[in-house]
Amino acid sequence: MKPLQLALIAGALALSSSVAMAQPSASTVGSKVSKDGSTVGGTAGSAAAGGTSASTIGLGANSTGKAGTSSTVGGAGSAAAVNGRATSNTKIRENPQMLRSQSRAAAMDGGTWSRSMSNTAVRNNGDLRSWTRSMAHEPGGKPAMSSTRVR
């Protein structure tokens, strides 16, 4: 094969592989550890499609010791769109039974979108639960979805 033909074929293969890599993607992770009356855990996720991306995280902790019980919870979200619209928000709520964090992030650009949601709760009895769901979609294709739950 001539060097020019080989270079054109290599360039076409590289272009097709970069187009294949641009498919919507979504991933989530989670972890929980309990030891000596203390529990720490949470979940996080991100999604991307086209020129959009969205990520969220939810974390919580509970500790029981001689001085009593202490709990904390937190969350965050971030979204970006090259030519579209992006929003994110986090709400922390407290009631006599639990602390709760809810984070949402979404980015839209025409029919292309990315979303992520995280929800974490720490109950007074030390129970920690967290889940995250991330999704991304481009028109004409199948949505990418991922979810993680920690109990």
Could you tell me the residue ranges of all domains in the chain? 24-150
Express each pLDDT in 65-85 by its tens digit. 888 889 999 999 999 999 999
Supply angle C-alpha 47, 117, 24, rounded to 5. 15
* Contact predicate 148/43, CB 8 Å: yes
- Please tell me the predicted confidence (pLDDT) of residue 22: 64
Mean pLDDT score, 130-134: 98
The span from the CA of 45 to the CA of 54, in Å, is 8
Q: Considering only 4-13, 28-37, 123-132, which range has the smallest mean pLDDT? A: 4-13
Which of 114 and 69 is assigned the larger pLDDT? 114
Strand partners, 73: 60
Q: How far is CA 33 from CA 20, 27, 60, 103, in A?
A: 38, 21, 11, 22
- Please tell me the predicted confidence (pLDDT) of residue 126: 85
Q: Considering only 10-24, 30-44, 85-99, which range has the smallest mean pLDDT? A: 10-24
Strand partners, 82: none
Q: Considering only 1-15, 44-58, 64-78, 102-116, which range has the smallest mean pLDDT? A: 1-15
98-109/68-81 β-pairing = unpaired
pTM: 0.83
